[in-house]
Amino acid sequence: MAKDVRLLAEPFVPGALVGPFTNAHPGLGGVCTFVGEVRSDDDVEALELSHYEPLTLSGMNALADEALTRFGLMGILIVHRVGEMRPGEPIVLVSACARHRRGAIDAVDFAMDHLKSDAWFWKREKRGGEWNWIEPRAEDHSDLARWR
């Protein structure tokens, strides 16, 4: 189970996935996990992620393969939601395990930077009953540039 990549249309519980993922890699030196959730600190009522079936999952798989190789991982888990989400719901989960901590930590950082601005997702949010598309931010692109 070196690579586990999933697109989910329903809410998920990160811990229920990270436990089995970690257990599947006996002998690991470190596991690093990031979970992104819909922020609830402002007036966002809902968030919706759309994707394009022919590109999105294959792109996530290619990203996982690149991270496995680049950081010498034992395994990587990438889970991304699509559909409508409420504040507090998980959007994304990346977990990486490796012999040594640095590879695991860097791989998660790398995967998140690519999922934010180089993966086939489109995000819109609902405030005051109105849906608005989220434009990519300049920081997202500079974050991505760190890995080139």
Q: Which positions lie near other proteins, rule CB under 8 A?
A: 36, 49-50, 52, 54-55, 58, 80, 91-92, 112, 115-124, 133-136, 140
Question: In the complex, what is the shortest distance from the CB of residue 39 to other proteins, in angstroms, rounded to a whole number?
Answer: 12
Question: In the complex, what is the shortest distance from the CB of residue 111 to other proteins, in angstroms, rounded to a whole number?
Answer: 10
Residue type, 29: G
Closer CB to other proteins, residue 1 or residue 134? 134
Closer CB to other proteins, residue 102 or residue 123? 123
Question: In the complex, what is the shortest distance from the CB of residue 38 to other proteins, in angstroms, rounded to a whole number?
Answer: 11
Q: Is 26 helix (H, G, I), strand (E, B) or coil?
A: coil
Neighbours of 8 (CB within 10 A): 14
d(CA 92, CA 33): 10
Closer CB to other proteins, residue 1 or residue 62? 62
Handedness of CA 140, 62, 80, 4 (dihedral sign): negative
Question: In the complex, what is the shortest distance from the CB of residue 100 to other proteins, in angstroms, rounded to a whole number?
Answer: 26
The DSSP secondary-structure symbol of 27 reads T
Angle between helices 138-145 and 101-117 (to 10 degrees): 140
The DSSP secondary-structure symbol of 39 reads -
Closer CB to other proteins, residue 23 or residue 132? 132
